[in-house]
Amino acid sequence: METSFHISLPCLNVEDTKNFYINYIGASVGRTSENWIDINLFGHQLTFIKAEKFNFNSPNYVFEGKLLPSFHLGVIVNESTWNGIYNNLKEHHLDVVNKTTFLQDKLGEHSSFFLKDPNDYMLEFKNFKTTNDIFKS
């Protein structure tokens, strides 16, 4: 199974971050907005979200009306794997946060859920409706 790595990190300036990854690292840009940018780093998705001097005591942002953690680590998997992980977590009564579909009927549509690991790091599991849309804008 081929998988892609996803991580979401705070940044002070979206444009400066974009310029660094494009001009110095050679990455490409995926979806963007005024407050966040997806970077295609060798097939892996880095999402940078604008934040003031980042405070880990309130690490959230709003996307499509949902409150989400700005700082999280994720993995993009196929639908079968995504459903298997989700069902296993529910069977073990683990608290899954925000199981939802984002960008429904739009480019980049994906299902997603979050949960905390034993170290209180937020993990996200994503399943894109169309795998080739991960970095399209």
The mean predicted confidence, pLDDT, of the chain is 85
Q: Residue 67: pLDDT above 80?
A: no
Residues of the chain above pLDDT 70, percent = 93
CATH code of 95's domain? 3.10.180.10
Q: What is the pLDDT of residues 74-92, one digit of tens each?
A: 888 899 989 988 888 888 8
Backbone angles phi, psi at 103, to 5 degrees: 55, 40
Domain count, the chain: 1
Q: Residue 58: which domain range?
A: 4-133
Query: What pTM does this model have?
Result: 0.66
Helix/strand/coil percent split, the chain, to 5: 20, 45, 35
The separation between CA 44 and the C-alpha centre of its own chain, rounded to angstroms, equals 11
Question: Distance of CA 66 to CAs 4, 60, 91, 103, Å?
Answer: 24, 10, 25, 12
Task: Give dist(CA 79, CA 90) in Å, integer.
Answer: 16
Residue 131: per-residue pLDDT: 86
Residue 2: per-residue pLDDT: 77
Q: What is the pLDDT of residues 19-64, one digit of tens each?
A: 888 988 888 999 998 899 999 987 889 998 988 776 666 667 788 8
Residue 59: per-residue pLDDT: 65
More confident residue, 68 or 59: 68
